[in-house]
Structure 1
Amino acid sequence: MSALTPTLLIIHGAWHVPQSYEKLIVAFEARGYEVHCPRLPSTNQSRPPNADLYTDSKLVRSYASSLVRAGRTVVAIMHSYGGQVGSDALVGLGLESRAAQGLPGGVSHLVYLAAFALSEGISMMDIVKEFNHMDLIPLAFNFAEDDTCVSNDPKTLLVGPSTLDEEEVNRYLSTLVRWNGKGMYLPIKHAAWREIPVAYIHCTADMTVPFEYQKSFVEGMEKNGRPVQSFELATGHCPNLTATEGVVEAVNSFIKRYS
């Protein structure tokens, strides 16, 4: 990769931690990328929880700001709930808007990876209600009294179908942690996709953020005037594990197209 190669910022999903993305990080680094994946405070496992969507957004904004102030061109790769965090956090940090102010660096692209890409004032649970799937929530997630939660069946609902050996899948599952489920109910305040070029990587066998949800997110952005370059992977909710090379190729393609 050249000196102009962008820095990648992975914004992880619910229940995940940076270790969950080790396979993807290694694959990107093998292609010459510098990769960052800060741990979101909502996964700190505090009981009762002391961090939520807005805490996560503040952390990611601070982290991304430090990169762009150093002159870095950043591509944000947002997985699942990370789409809410990145959308909320990265507004105003776009490469184009910073250049217009004579400032160096900026976020050049947003890549939503089976992620929530919503408008201001909308929460993840609003989408579940829109699709009349509220009855599935207790089947999918186990909420404690303090609102922290885990997936009831992460092997099926998160990893999904794969050709990976059981040892690799179990090693991945061991990285998952309890998360502050209030993040499902809190609306984002900003939508960075309105000002930064977007790609969406669909996971067609996803049982946590169904394909129909994913398509509705793209339709919503396009109706609001944001073109979206879409890719499809025939995998479940965690392509960082099950379709790693497909994710890398999609990101490479998007970056090359707009470079």
Structure 2
Amino acid sequence: MAAEKPTLVLVPGSFVPPSFYTNVISAFSSKGYSIQAVDTCTVGKKPGAPPTMYDDAAHIASVVSKLADEGKDIVLVAHSYGGIPTSESLKGLSKDTREKEGKKGGVVRVAYMTAVVPELEENSAAVFSVLGDQAPSAYTAVDEDGWMFHPTPEITAGYVFSDLSPEEGLKWVNKFEQHSVVSFTNELTYAGYKDVPVSYLFCEEDKCVPPMVQQRCIDVIEKASGRNVDVTRVKNDHCPSVSAPEKVVDWFVHLVEIGGKA
């Protein structure tokens, strides 16, 4: 009997709920694979103090732990900002670590889709420092309650959805929700990418997380883990799930098929 393929758990980027990825989730599921998306705490304005990156990490860990306790192997996939809480969340969740504790299941691979991946004690700003004065101009603003929004959606569309027409990009930006600004200041306290094999979907036309930043993230992972990152390169923008969904679905299939193989 063939071994069950890992479950893919998708962590969204900033400003977007899981429904943003419905097209690739549905297409991947239709191929007979198991997938679910995490509803991050920092997306969607709420009363009270804005949630932190650590709140997202704890929520991701709870979702993954539940699946692991059911005996499932997991490939954890993070898009954009999601790379930070995903890395933070992995403490004690790798399959190897859980097996040593007599537990079943666990994370067998982490995969980053043009994602932000800091070193220990870094936040997202430190990751982008590699760009120096080439960094993109800020296209977000923060309200009086500490929630980010996009005051000029047309400019955002040009950065995030550069593969699309301005009109189509604007339609997608209008699906964005607000995002907690404090989450981008929180520093990484656990480099979970050292615990499991790592893959990276490198988007060569990304204007939001430019190639120089993506390469810096890959270098950080390889230095910390001592392992090569499995890199897939595509000539697409920051949201390939929108601009090139078939490529993302093919990558998802690749991830669950290789599972925990180094």
Cα displacement (A) at 1:129: 2.9
Asked if 1:102 is matched to 2:64, the reply is no
Question: Deviation per CA, 1:50-85, whole angstroms, max 9, x where unpaired?
Answer: 311011111111111111011111111100010001
- SS at the partner of 1:42? coil
- SS at the partner of 2:42? helix
> Which residue identity lines up with residue 7 of structure 2 in the other structure?
T
Cα displacement (A) at 1:128: 2.4
Aligned to 2:159: 157
Aligned to 1:142: 141
Question: Deviation per CA, 1:78-114, whole angstroms, max 9, x where unpaired?
Answer: 0001000100012211112212332110011101001
**CA distance in structure 1 between the partners assigned to 2:30 and 2:141 by the alignment:** 37
**CA distance in structure 2 between the partners assigned to 1:197 and 1:157 by the alignment:** 30
User: Does the 8 Å CA contact 1:114/1:202 hold for their aligned counterparts?
Assistant: yes
In the TM superposition, 1:196-207 aligns within 5 A as 196-207=196-207
**CA distance in structure 2 between the partners assigned to 1:25 and 1:253 by the alignment:** 15
Question: Cα gap change, 1:56/1:137 in structure 2, threshold over 3 Å: closer, same or farther?
Answer: farther
**CA distance in structure 2 between the partners assigned to 1:94 and 1:31 by the alignment:** 26
**CA distance in structure 2 between the partners assigned to 1:12 and 1:78 by the alignment:** 6
**CA distance in structure 2 between the partners assigned to 1:257 and 1:59 by the alignment:** 26
- SS at the partner of 1:43? coil
Structure 2 residues without counterparts, runs of 5 or longer = none
**CA distance in structure 1 between the partners assigned to 2:136 and 2:254 by the alignment:** 36
Asked if 1:113 is matched to 2:113, the reply is yes
- SS at the partner of 1:223? helix
Cα displacement (A) at 1:133: 4.5
Asked if 1:246 is matched to 2:247, the reply is yes
Structure 1 residues without counterparts, runs of 5 or longer = none
Question: Cα gap change, 1:134/1:123 in structure 2, threshold over 3 Å: closer, same or farther?
Answer: farther
Q: What TM-score do you get using the length of structure 1 for normalisation? A: 0.90
**CA distance in structure 2 between the partners assigned to 1:177 and 1:220 by the alignment:** 30
**CA distance in structure 2 between the partners assigned to 1:46 and 1:124 by the alignment:** 23
Aligned to 2:188: 188
- SS at the partner of 1:131? helix
In the TM superposition, 1:1-259 aligns within 5 A as 4-46=4-46, 49-133=49-133, 136-138=136-138, 140-151=139-150, 152=152, 153-162=155-164, 166=167, 169=169, 171-224=171-224, 225-258=226-259
Cα displacement (A) at 1:14: 0.5
> Which residue identity lines up with residue 228 of structure 1 in the other structure?
V
Root-mean-square deviation (CA, aligned residues, Å) is: 2.1
Q: What TM-score do you get using the length of structure 2 for normalisation? A: 0.89
Identity value in percent: 24
Cα displacement (A) at 1:5: 1.4
- SS at the partner of 1:160? coil
Which piece of structure 1 moves more, 243-252 or 187-196? 243-252
Size of the alignment, in residue pairs?
255
- SS at the partner of 1:199? strand
**CA distance in structure 1 between the partners assigned to 2:39 and 2:134 by the alignment:** 29
> Which residue identity lines up with residue 158 of structure 1 in the other structure?
V
